[in-house]
Each structure stands twice: as C-alpha cells, then as structure tokens.
Amino acid sequence: MEIEGLLKELGIEYKIMEDEAFARCPNHFPDRHPSWSVNLKTGVHHCFSCGYGGNLASLVATVLHLSYPQAVLWVNERVGWARVNRWREDVEVTTYAPPAISEADLVFFTDPPQEALDSRKITLEAAKLLGVRWNTEKNAWIFPIRDPYTNDLWGWQEKSERRFRNYPHGVRKSETLFGMAAFEHDSTAILVESPVDAVRLNVIRRGSGLSSYGVHISGTQFSLIHEFASRLVCALDNDLAGIRETARIAGVFKQLPVYVFDYGDSVAKDIGDMNDEEIRWGIDNAVPAYTIRWKD
C-alpha cells in the first residue's frame, strides 16, 4: 500500500498536483478550502492555515484519535517498517546511493568463471539470475546491493577468500536483502547470511533464497520478509553467532511462522559446505522455532 492508499483508508478526499495531495485540513474545522497537503513521496504533511503538520503517524493519530505509538503500529501494519523508513522529511537521508553509482559501474566486472562457480556448487544461470559478477583483478565475487522495491543499484559487496568489503562505504545493505529481485512473493523465504549461499539456494529452489549480507538481521529486513514472504526458514550459519541470531529472530519476529533449518548431524558451517540432498533435507525438516528450547 502506498500513501494514496492510506489516505483513502483514512477517508480523506484529496486532489493530486504533481507529488502533493491537497485536501481540507484534518486538524481544524471548518476548512472551507483545501489548505492542507501531504507529499506522496515522503509522507510529510502541512497545513498552510493552522500550521498543523508532521509525518504519516502524526496524521493517523489525529484522524483516528490514537496515541502516537498506536498510530506508528497502525501505519507499520499496512506498509511495513521498510516503507515507513523511506518516508522521511529529510530527502537527503532517503538518497540511498551516491550519484556516482550506476549500472555502468558493473560493466567492468565479468561473469564468474566456471572454476569459481564449481567451487561453490552454483550455476552460471543462477548467478545471472541474481546479477552476480566477478572482479577478475582481485578474484572476488561481486554481489549487488539493490533497492528492494525499484531494483536500483546502491552498491555491491565484494568478497574473496581473504577479505570482503561493501562499496561504497556506508551503503545501506541492512535496508535490503540480496535475492529480492528473484524472490517468489508469498512463498517460503530461506534466509542465509552470505549472498553466495542465497545463489546456491536458487539452484536448488528457484526464487527461495535471501541473504542479509551478514549475520545480523535488521528491523527493515524483518519488514521486507514480512511483506513479501508467507513463511521464514532461518538457515543462518551453523556456528555460535548464527545460532544466537536465530534464537533472537525466534524471540522477536512474530509476524510470520518461523522455522529453523535442520543441519542434522552435519558438521558443515553453512549450507555452502553441504550437498544438494542435505540442503533439501534440512529445508524439508525445518523445525518450528517455538518448539526449540534455546540456551544462553
């Protein structure tokens, strides 16, 4: 749901001029002529007559007579944290990628070589599906970091055997998930830490694998999973950090059914160390998170 949908649900009659929706002010009566407007990109609203203004949550609080925290929850239930996080008054904050970053920057990279693909048990088809590239000078994978809604390029994660880095510095990888462009909406999301493992999952089950670009799952990433998936299987790394984060997810993420990938008797650190049959078994036998007794 976009801002226009929220206005309709609130019962606000409006007219649109460019990026603004104009209406009678919901804060003062009578407002004989439309003196209030809301920006359809940022959600910021203002009345030129009484001075009333603020963000979407403040508008909802006024119209529905809710407390501000209740209004925040009302908005988030309809659009999710990920969209709310983008509707800010500070336009510069919502500028995700520096102007220097564009699709043209990716032309300097190549398709991953067959040797690298074979070493991670992935196919060129799956790599292309998710836009994976290769830095021949550094023998490193290039995993694009993209806007989860528009697919615009924000930057990339470069990963080799010895190191990895996110480019440009400060790119907001925590506000998206790798694999979103190929994810089959309203299906089971299988969440992994590494983008290359998300590619591996798309070899086994196309449109299923998502990566958080690391072990920590942000609130915005939770929101994206909630918005686009019907079920979550956590397949984070089989180490202490991955287990702790899985336990945290099980404790705080209540919006969807959460299951935990079953590593069984495997000593593999992550799904990249497993064969296809072991991965399928781990997915099919994923355990409901609420049935697990987590230890500190």
The answer to whether 62 and 27 are in contact (CB under 8 A) is yes
The answer to whether 142 and 106 are in contact (CB under 8 A) is yes
* pLDDT in the model for residue 123: 95
- Given 86, 117, 139, which residue is the final one in a domain? 86
CA gap 270, 249 in Å, rounded: 18
User: Tokens standing for 3?
Assistant: 């801002």
- Residue 46 belongs to a domain: yes
- Residue 96 belongs to a domain: no
- Given 19, 51, 86, which residue is the final one in a domain? 86
The answer to whether residues 25 and 61 belong to one domain is: yes
Number of domains composing the chain: 2
* pLDDT in the model for residue 93: 42
Structure letter (DSSP) for residue 21: E
CATH number at residue 262: 3.40.1360.10
Contacts 24+ apart (CB under 8 A), 272-277: 272/120, 272/121, 272/194, 272/196, 272/197, 272/200, 275/121, 276/121, 276/203, 276/204
The answer to whether residues 196 and 282 belong to one domain is: yes
The answer to whether residues 158 and 253 belong to one domain is: yes
- Residue 232 belongs to a domain: yes
The answer to whether 28 and 5 are in contact (CB under 8 A) is no
**Helices 219-228, 68-86: crossing angle, 10 deg rounding:** 90
The answer to whether residues 47 and 166 belong to one domain is: no
The answer to whether 180 and 224 are in contact (CB under 8 A) is yes
CA gap 164, 155 in Å, rounded: 14
For the chain, which residues score pLDDT lower than 70?
Answer: 1, 80-100, 294-296
Pairing of the two strands 20-23 and 36-39: antiparallel
CA gap 34, 141 in Å, rounded: 54
Whole-model pTM?
0.69
Q: Which helix (H) or strand (E) holds 4?
A: helix 3-9
- Residue 174 belongs to a domain: yes
What residues make up the domain containing 51?
3-86
The answer to whether residues 19 and 120 belong to one domain is: no
CA gap 184, 187 in Å, rounded: 6
Distances (CA, A) of 61 to 14, 97, 145, 281: 19, 32, 35, 48
The answer to whether residues 148 and 233 belong to one domain is: yes
* pLDDT in the model for residue 238: 93
Residue 247 CB neighbour total at 10 angstroms: 17
